[in-house]
């Protein structure tokens, strides 16, 4: 079979999935091919059960407007949509996942992986939400509109904070039941710091959600920008929760020592993530949930590359991604070497943000294995690098 025939038969497979009410889990068309302009910025498809019939729900986004329609299966113009100029397509079926990326020349690069997924055909998106879109704080921070609907342009941010909460809750509960974090009470609330809080979407979300779950908490949002502090404080005043939320305009590294149980950070840029981790280690923060942002620290230090690894670093994009991976792996290792149990997990699908990793760490004071230290040393020595976090903590 020629390459062209092969990709045509794979496209036939995509059409079959999208037309099959028993197989389609979800499909997303997004991005824009060079010199092409699809009618919508993004189209998402999923099966939905309405009364006794399973229909194909299409949600099309253009600018800040989204349009939803329910079609009979088989009526969606998959081939036309694929050739309309989208750059990426993700098709998830119950038995496999297909990704299509179009090259600059418009050739589809199709990748299929075997993965089992379960269909969600109920109209239950509303029910499974942790944060009611009509919640006053979501309106005030600008995620929902005045009518209590998530603004299409803020949907990804909304999903990010929801998924963040979904990971926070079980980890927090298990730390409380293990006795590593005290049982929060109105007299002794959970103390939280949000590093690089920006517009405080996460700050307000965590505060509100924990309050709703009867977990009294006190939150400090730190951002170097004075305009963020002013804006966020004004919102806290309107919401009448300045007793339990405070905003400070300062650099994370300059922020004074504090008794914090939980440190959170969502996309604190570049080495601000290292500042947040260093601050937490120094303050013996008991639990950390930190989603790193862009990294440049190690990439700029990659000069003396250990011989076999030039196989990776000679490709610009791989060098960049490898730098990201090494940065986070070494961050996790430094946390481990300071008595934290640490995992790096994906907290949200990459169609909502490419920065979708989360460093989750809990302070157990476990004595690190000496091998952990020697492995860390071996890597930094062989790559001739000094990770920012190690530099801030003066750790080697
Ligand atoms: C990409 S934004 C993310 C904001 C917010 N966490 C969110 O997810 O919407 C990063 C924020 O970190 C702040 N920031 C960057 N470096 C910082 C530092 N060293 N100290 C304090 N804030 C910092 C920036 O001002 C910016 O508001």
Work out the percent of the chain whose per-residue pLDDT is above 90: 66
Q: For 294-326, how does the pLDDT look when each residue is reduced to its tens digit (9 = 90+)?
A: 778 888 898 888 989 999 999 989 999 999 999
Q: Which of 222, 230, 268, 389 to mutate to test the pocket of ligand 1 (most atoms within 8 A of CB)?
A: 268
- What's this model's pTM, rounded to 2 decimal places? 0.71
Give CA–CA dist 68/45, Å, rounded.
Answer: 10
Tell me what the mean pLDDT of segment 208-212 comes to.
Answer: 94
Determine the Cα–Cα distance for residues 326 and 318; give it in Å rounded to an integer.
Answer: 12
Indicate if ligand 1 lies below 6 Å from the C-beta of 201: yes
* CB-facing half-sphere around the CA of 286: CA atoms within 13 A: 19
Most confident range (mean pLDDT) of 60-74, 122-136, 273-287 is: 273-287
What does the pLDDT average to over 334-355? 86
Task: Check pocket membership of 252 for ligand 1, CB cut-off 6 A.
Answer: yes
Q: What is the pLDDT of residue 127?
A: 44
Tell me the C-alpha to C-alpha distance, in Å, between residue 241 and each of 18, 33, 349, 357, 385.
47, 46, 32, 31, 45
CA of 345 to the centre of ligand 1 (A): 21
Q: Does pLDDT of 124 surpass 60?
A: no
What is the residue extent of each domain of the chain?
3-126, 129-393
Whether 323 lines ligand 1, by a CB cut-off of 6 Å, is no
Considering the four listed CATH numbers 2.40.50.110, 2.40.50.100, 3.40.50.150, 3.20.20.10, the one that applies to the domain covering 129-393 is 3.40.50.150
Q: What separation in Å is there between the alpha carbon of 301 and the centre of ligand 1?
A: 23
49-63, 132-146, 304-318: which range is least confident on average?
49-63
The pLDDT of residue 278 is: 96
Which residues are CB-neighbours of 120 under 8 A, at least 6 positions away? 25, 46
């Amino acid at each position: 079979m020629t390459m062209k025939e092969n990709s045509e038969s794979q496209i036939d497979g995509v059409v079959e999935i999208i037309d099959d009410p028993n197989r389609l889990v979800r499909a997303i068309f997004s991005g824009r091919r060079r010199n092409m302009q699809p009618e919508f910025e993004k189209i998402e498809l999923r099966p939905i059960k309405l009364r006794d019939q399973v229909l194909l729900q299409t949600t099309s986004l253009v600018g800040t407007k989204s349009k939803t329609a329910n079609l009979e299966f088989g009526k969606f113009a998959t081939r036309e949509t694929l050739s309309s100029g989208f750059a990426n397509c993700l098709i998830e079926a119950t038995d496999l996942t297909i990704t299509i990326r179009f090259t600059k020349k418009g050739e589809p690069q199709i990748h299929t992986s075997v993965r089992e997924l379960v269909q969600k055909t109920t109209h239950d998106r509303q029910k499974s939400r942790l944060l009611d879109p009509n919640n006053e704080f979501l309106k005030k921070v600008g995620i929902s509109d005045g009518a209590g609907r998530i603004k299409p342009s803020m949907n990804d941010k909304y999903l990010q904070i929801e998924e963040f909460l979904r990971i926070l809750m079980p980890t927090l509960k298990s730390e409380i039941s293990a006795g590593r974090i005290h049982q929060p009470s109105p007299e002794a609330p959970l103390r939280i710091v949000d590093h690089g809080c920006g517009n405080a979407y996460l700050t307000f979300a965590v505060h509100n959600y924990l309050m709703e779950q009867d977990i009294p908490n006190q939150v400090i949002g730190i951002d170097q920008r004075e305009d963020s502090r002013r804006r966020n404080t004004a919102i806290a005043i309107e919401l009448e929760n300045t007793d339990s939320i405070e905003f400070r305009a300062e650099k994370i590294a300059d922020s004074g020592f504090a008794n914090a149980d939980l440190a959170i950070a969502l996309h604190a840029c570049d080495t601000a993530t290292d500042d947040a981790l260093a601050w937490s280690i120094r303050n013996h923060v008991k639990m950390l949930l930190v989603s790193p942002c862009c990294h440049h620290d190690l990439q700029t230090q990659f000069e003396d590359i250990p011989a076999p690894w030039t196989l990776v670093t000679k490709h610009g994009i791989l060098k960049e991604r490898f730098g990201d991976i090494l940065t986070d792996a070494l961050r996790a290792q430094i946390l481990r070497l300071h008595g934290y149990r640490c995992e790096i997990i994906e907290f949200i699908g990459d169609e909502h943000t490419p920065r979708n990793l989360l460093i989750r760490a809990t302070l157990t004071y476990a004595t690190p294995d000496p091998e952990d230290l020697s492995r860390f040393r071996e890597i930094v020595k062989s790559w001739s690098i000094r990770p920012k976090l190690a530099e801030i903590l003066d750790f080697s």
